[in-house]
Chains A and B, each alone.
Chain A
Amino acid sequence: MSGDRYLLASSLKGGVVLVARSIRYIALAWLSSIVLALVLSAAIYDSLYQSFGSSQASQSMLNGFDDTWYQNYESQARGLELTFTPSVIGPGVVLDGIDALVADAGIKKIPAALLVLAAIYVLTWTALSAGFIGHYSSSPSERPSFGRSVLNNFRRVAPLTALALFTFWAIFSFVDPVVGRRVYQFVSNQLDEKPFLIGDVFGVVLVWTPILATKIVLDCAKVLAVVDRDMSLIRAPLVAARMVGSNIGKVICVYAILGSLWAVLIVTYALVAPSVSQASIPQITLAFLAGQLLIVLRIWIRCQFLATQSVMYAGLLKAGRG
């Protein structure tokens, strides 16, 4: 096995082992998701409960989906209530989030309360990432506790997350509208629908290529900033860009393998997601647990990304191959 292949394989393998040993921290990440979701879920519960009241809609919505009720609810919905649509079930569970990111209509229509919690979750994951990277990139003998790792590395990771967010904001604000306009100009003259879809996909690729590039480089920079504490945070992205550039094959492989895993998970859930038929406590619980399993697996894959990247970039830095 060549050195490159060995490094790639060992990074992936090492990542799997490390993630398998950090189940409790995955549980911590999942718990943070639950806690944040519970805040707004309480408001949604209250809104639904008030709307159902003593009506027979409570029965029909328990048995399935009652569109007469929904149209009444929708016509009075305000703020957070507007997020309650029929697409909170089935494939919408996973597609709505992705659509919010990649399609024009998405993020601008999300109520403020959701955006605030999303911001808190991003902050939470910044802290968790600091912990995970510190945890995954150090040798077993020097491995600090997860909490200490968060405390030690948060100040190193947070500015890089801020830089990433700023870059994403700039791309969404300046590149996305231009690409969208150009793509629309192109596709609006097409008679068939396939060119529309191709145009949309092309537009998404154009916008998301710099976003993914930024993400890859700054993820690498986070590892470098944690592993090499002497490296300045200004220099880290530059070194990271060089390291990613000179090891682009391995980086793409890691992203392709783990990205495929993510895609399989998303598609599988979209196909088998619970629909509307649960009418008893065990059925409702089972559907909820299926959803939580999805969240745990999404977090697991994210940790897999962090672990594999940490092992790989730390290895490259140690080998002086940046």
Chain B
Amino acid sequence: MRTVGVGLLALLCLFFVYRADAGPAVGAGPLESVSTPRANLSPRIANYQIEAKLDTKANRVSGKMILKWRNASSREIDEVYFQLYANAWVNNESSRMNLGEPPESRQKMTDSDWSYIKINKLRLVGAMNGLNADLNRAASFVHPDDNNFKDRTLLKVPLGLVVEPGAEVELSIEFETQLSKPKPMILFGALPELYWLGRWYPQISVLDSSGQWHAHQHLSSEYFSDFGNYDVSLTVPSGWVVGATGRQVATVVNRDGTTQHVYRQEDVHAFAWTTGRSFTVHEKVFRQPGLKPVKMRLLLNPDNAGRSERFFRATEATLKVYGTNFGPYPYDQLTIVNSPSKSQLNGVEYPTIFTTGGHWLASARSLAVERPLLHEAGHQFWYGVVANSETEHAWLDEGINSYAAALTERLEYPAPLYTKFYFNRSLPITFPGVNRLYRYSSADGMGGAYSDLLLDKMSTPSFRQKTQAYWMTSYTKPALMMRTLENYLGWETLRRILSVYYARWSFKHPKPEDFFSVVNEISGQDLGWFFDQVWNDDVTFDYAVEGVTSTPVSKLSGYTDQSGKYRLTAGSAKPDTGFTSRIDIRRWGRGKFPIKVRIEFEKGDPIVQSWDGKASQKTFKLLSKHRVTKVIVDPEHVLVLDINYTNNSWLAEPPAEMAAMKWTTKWMVWFQNMLQAAAFFA
């Protein structure tokens, strides 16, 4: 009986070994533990106590806050910096308003397009020196990134004292934030009876351990802030639903028709909230063996009220796939906010809360609801917990998360159908039979890759990149890089890399070098050659079959050595059987990557040749019994960064004419219908 049991166990092990080789599987191996139990998950450097009141008539928030900030560096500090993001739209002279082509400053703005954040009082308080000094007068706006002295998004505050390493200061701040219509990068947005508040309070910049401030103006990139505890009281009209970072710990109904909602959360690096009159609230608990339960709270717009299960299922898929493969979600709750689909509030991540659109009419096979949700939910891990600077290295969270969200989609959902949104994106129509590949990233695969890949390098600081380059270098390219790594190293190795990286850098601020270091360590390889090309250069990869010839071996003719005598043997020798084949492979791109070449014959087993991929050309010469019928460079499609996979293959008898005919006839019918629509005007 015991022998049978051991045998079954061995079989089970073999099954799992097989599964691991077959491709990604949820929870395919042991995870690195995030940390041994400890009191604090994070270093708790910036701790906020905020009391905020929302004035829904003026679209304004007035707040008081106490910030306890600790100098976690090794250097004495005598000044701090505050990010005042809302001032990016204070007037048309801000740096943010003058980015892009054409700059926003040339667009027609209405009164409700402008926003600001104003610090009314800023005092140093607390026991440290018995001080109650007013720091507001000495504070000044600084402009390290573009020298635009009219920009007011970064405030330098001299403290008037020296903060020793490890010492803490306490600042009391009174502020008001004028909210505007929804803004790009989802800072905040005021709609009738709905508010989203992301970067709405003065947020202290990040000081790294060496004493270097990561303080930047708000240009076009996302954010960076330190971990800490938040204790926030939000006063909004009574009857309005509130969703926020953290857990609700108290509710107090005031006599003036307002209600105070108190939220608390430890070990997060930002606090966002939303309030609205028409949200419907749905709740569910995520449960998965090996992971702790998470209370999911879903705020839905009325149109989507009946579709809560799709939102929950996608959130659960993320918590499960990320939790079992990378590391557990460390908080007790997660709030999902269904933002209005055309409001620019869609798709934003904050710790323990995120927004996602709805697409009321989109079919389940389109994944139009699920795909953005998977991405934003995934940010709870890559951004929320592993908190790199989005301002400087956005690709670290956006790229890794795009890959991981695509992985979740691959594991948890059937391939989505192509969906086109008609009539100003109001009517989604799915196309049966047309499966779209969003497998590699959340962006549209390699669409636009030819031009966009050359716009900038991934290593360029994110806040320095232009919008088009930003999307490529922060989302698509790093996601494709991750997928290439998965294919090259194997899923199990990449899973271990990500779980170690997650464990090691949870509640910290990793830099690209930290990620590369984990990759090299876990893979046991120095992959510098790969990252130098993909991260620190703008090379493109493009391998191709340049030409294939496969001809019968000719009869032997001319002189042959017969027992030491040369004799003419033309036509007299037996014809040789078989074929000589020449296969020319070309490297068109500058990027170099080791590849395999699969060669198939009319009959018999195919052969696979390896090539280091370094030379610009490689020729394989073969002598075989049968004619070569098919050649594929990189047959497993390991190098998904290859910008043109079409030229990677060669068929002896390609049905190109028939395929072109099939699709041309379809295009022709489509075009005739376009003509018929035009004939309306005749």
Flag whether B661 is at the interface (Cβ < 8 A): yes
**A95 and B429 contact, Cβ closer than 8 Å, known pairs A104-B424, A193-B303:** yes
Q: Which of B99-107, B148-156, B191-199, B395-403 lies on the face that meets chain A?
A: B191-199
Contact of B671 among A41, A87, A215, A274 (CB under 8 A): A41
Interface of B is mostly: mixed
Closest to B345 in A: A191
Flag whether B657 is at the interface (Cβ < 8 A): yes
A2-35 vs B, CB cutoff 8 Å, 1 = contact: the mask equals 0000000000000000000000000000000110
**A193 and B359 contact, Cβ closer than 8 Å, known pairs A67-B436, A100-B674, A288-B669:** yes
**A89 and B431 contact, Cβ closer than 8 Å, known pairs A38-B668, A58-B654:** yes
Do B445 and A67 have beta carbons less than 8 Å apart?
Answer: yes
**A165 and B675 contact, Cβ closer than 8 Å, known pairs A71-B447, A75-B449:** no
Closest to A95 in B: B422
**A90 and B431 contact, Cβ closer than 8 Å, known pairs A40-B671, A56-B632, A58-B654:** yes
Do B303 and A192 have beta carbons less than 8 Å apart?
Answer: yes
Closest to A47 in B: B660
Chain B: minimal CB distance from A286 (Å): 10
Do A103 and B423 have beta carbons less than 8 Å apart?
Answer: yes
Do A41 and B667 have beta carbons less than 8 Å apart?
Answer: yes
Flag whether A187 is at the interface (Cβ < 8 A): yes
Write out the residue numbers on chain A whose beta carbons fall within 8 Å of the beta carbon of B435: 65, 67
Write out the residue numbers on chain B whose beta carbons fall within 8 Å of the beta carbon of A197: 360-361, 423, 426-427
A34, A83, A89: residue with the most chain B Cβ atoms closer than 10 Å? A89
Measured CA separation A274–B682 after assembly (Å)? 29
Measured CA separation A104–B680 after assembly (Å)? 18
A177-201 vs B, CB cutoff 8 Å, 1 = contact: the mask equals 0000000000111111110110010
Measured CA separation A83–B668 after assembly (Å)? 11
Contact of B659 among A59, A93, A98, A215 (CB under 8 A): A59
Write out the residue numbers on chain B whose beta carbons fall within 8 Å of the beta carbon of A125: 679, 682
Measured CA separation A129–B679 after assembly (Å)? 10
Flag whether B116 is at the interface (Cβ < 8 A): no
Measured CA separation A287–B679 after assembly (Å)? 24
Write out the residue numbers on chain B whose beta carbons fall within 8 Å of the beta carbon of A59: 651, 654-655, 659
B242-278 vs A, CB cutoff 8 Å, 1 = contact: the mask equals 0000000000000000000000000000000000101
Contact of A84 among B637, B648, B663 (CB under 8 A): B663
Flag whether A112 is at the interface (Cβ < 8 A): no
Do A52 and B673 have beta carbons less than 8 Å apart?
Answer: no
Measured CA separation A52–B436 after assembly (Å)? 19
Write out the residue numbers on chain A whose beta carbons fall within 8 Å of the beta carbon of B276: 191
Flag whether B437 is at the interface (Cβ < 8 A): yes
Measured CA separation A119–B682 after assembly (Å)? 9
Do B340 and A190 have beta carbons less than 8 Å apart?
Answer: yes
Measured CA separation A4–B330 after assembly (Å)? 77
Closest to B339 in A: A191
Measured CA separation A190–B301 after assembly (Å)? 10
Do B648 and A71 have beta carbons less than 8 Å apart?
Answer: no
Closest to B670 in A: A88
Measured CA separation A284–B656 after assembly (Å)? 14
Interface of A is mostly: helix
Measured CA separation A126–B342 after assembly (Å)? 41
Closest to A293 in B: B669
B477-506 vs A, CB cutoff 8 Å, 1 = contact: the mask equals 000000000000000000000000000000
Chain B: minimal CB distance from A184 (Å): 9
Measured CA separation A53–B360 after assembly (Å)? 42
Measured CA separation A41–B669 after assembly (Å)? 10
Do B670 and A71 have beta carbons less than 8 Å apart?
Answer: no
Flag whether B433 is at the interface (Cβ < 8 A): yes
Flag whether B240 is at the interface (Cβ < 8 A): no
Do A36 and B675 have beta carbons less than 8 Å apart?
Answer: yes
Do B645 and A68 have beta carbons less than 8 Å apart?
Answer: yes
Chain B: minimal CB distance from A41 (Å): 4
Do A96 and B670 have beta carbons less than 8 Å apart?
Answer: yes
**A92 and B670 contact, Cβ closer than 8 Å, known pairs A101-B680, A187-B342:** yes
Measured CA separation A72–B501 after assembly (Å)? 33
Write out the residue numbers on chain B whose beta carbons fall within 8 Å of the beta carbon of A48: 659-660, 663-664
Do A287 and B665 have beta carbons less than 8 Å apart?
Answer: yes
Flag whether B166 is at the interface (Cβ < 8 A): no
Write out the residue numbers on chain A whose beta carbons fall within 8 Å of the beta carbon of B427: 197
Flag whether B4 is at the interface (Cβ < 8 A): no
Measured CA separation A95–B672 after assembly (Å)? 13
Q: Which of A226-234, A236-244, A250-258, A275-283 lies on the face that meets chain B?
A: A275-283
Do B630 and A114 have beta carbons less than 8 Å apart?
Answer: no
Write out the residue numbers on chain A whose beta carbons fall within 8 Å of the beta carbon of B630: 56
Write out the residue numbers on chain B whose beta carbons fall within 8 Å of the beta carbon of A161: 681-682
Write out the residue numbers on chain A whose beta carbons fall within 8 Å of the beta carbon of B8: none
Do A91 and B679 have beta carbons less than 8 Å apart?
Answer: no
Write out the residue numbers on chain A whose beta carbons fall within 8 Å of the beta carbon of B646: 51-53, 55, 57, 68-69, 72-73
Chain B: minimal CB distance from A198 (Å): 9
Q: Which of A142-150, A295-303, A307-315 lies on the face that meets chain B?
A: A295-303
Flag whether B420 is at the interface (Cβ < 8 A): yes
**A75 and B647 contact, Cβ closer than 8 Å, known pairs A52-B660, A92-B670:** no
Measured CA separation A121–B672 after assembly (Å)? 10
Chain B: minimal CB distance from A133 (Å): 12
Write out the residue numbers on chain B whose beta carbons fall within 8 Å of the beta carbon of A216: none
Do A126 and B682 have beta carbons less than 8 Å apart?
Answer: yes
Do B675 and A117 have beta carbons less than 8 Å apart?
Answer: yes
Flag whether A210 is at the interface (Cβ < 8 A): no
Chain A: minimal CB distance from B505 (Å): 33
Measured CA separation A199–B162 after assembly (Å)? 59
Flag whether A316 is at the interface (Cβ < 8 A): no
Do A58 and B445 have beta carbons less than 8 Å apart?
Answer: no
Do B670 and A103 have beta carbons less than 8 Å apart?
Answer: no
Do A194 and B660 have beta carbons less than 8 Å apart?
Answer: no
Flag whether A205 is at the interface (Cβ < 8 A): no
B158-186 vs A, CB cutoff 8 Å, 1 = contact: the mask equals 00000000000000000000000100000
Do B667 and A67 have beta carbons less than 8 Å apart?
Answer: no
Measured CA separation A91–B437 after assembly (Å)? 20
Flag whether B530 is at the interface (Cβ < 8 A): no
Do B665 and A288 have beta carbons less than 8 Å apart?
Answer: yes
Flag whether A248 is at the interface (Cβ < 8 A): no
Write out the residue numbers on chain A whose beta carbons fall within 8 Å of the beta carbon of B676: 33, 97, 295, 298-299, 302
Closest to B192 in A: A189
A36, A53, A83, A279: residue with the most chain B Cβ atoms closer than 10 Å? A53
Do B445 and A200 have beta carbons less than 8 Å apart?
Answer: no
Do A98 and B677 have beta carbons less than 8 Å apart?
Answer: yes
Closest to A302 in B: B679
Closest to B340 in A: A191
Do A54 and B656 have beta carbons less than 8 Å apart?
Answer: yes
Flag whether B418 is at the interface (Cβ < 8 A): yes
Measured CA separation A84–B301 after assembly (Å)? 36
Closest to A222 in B: B682
Write out the residue numbers on chain B whose beta carbons fall within 8 Å of the beta carbon of A191: 191-194, 276, 278, 301-302, 340, 343
Do B662 and A284 have beta carbons less than 8 Å apart?
Answer: yes
Flag whether B448 is at the interface (Cβ < 8 A): yes
Write out the residue numbers on chain A whose beta carbons fall within 8 Å of the beta carbon of B637: 68
Measured CA separation A270–B302 after assembly (Å)? 30
Write out the residue numbers on chain B whose beta carbons fall within 8 Å of the beta carbon of A54: 545, 649-651, 654, 656
Chain A: minimal CB distance from B360 (Å): 4
Write out the residue numbers on chain A whose beta carbons fall within 8 Å of the beta carbon of B422: 95, 99, 103
Flag whether B607 is at the interface (Cβ < 8 A): no
Write out the residue numbers on chain A whose beta carbons fall within 8 Å of the beta carbon of B659: 48, 52, 57-59, 61-62
**A93 and B669 contact, Cβ closer than 8 Å, known pairs A45-B660, A75-B450, A188-B343:** yes
5 contacts between A and B (CB under 8 A): A55-B656, A88-B666, A89-B434, A161-B682, A191-B193
Nearest 4 interchain pairs by C-beta = A291-B669, A97-B677, A125-B682, A118-B678
Given contact pairs A74-B447, A128-B682, A197-B427, enumerate 8 new A-B contacts (beta carbons under 8 Å): A34-B672, A76-B450, A83-B671, A89-B434, A99-B423, A196-B342, A279-B662, A291-B669
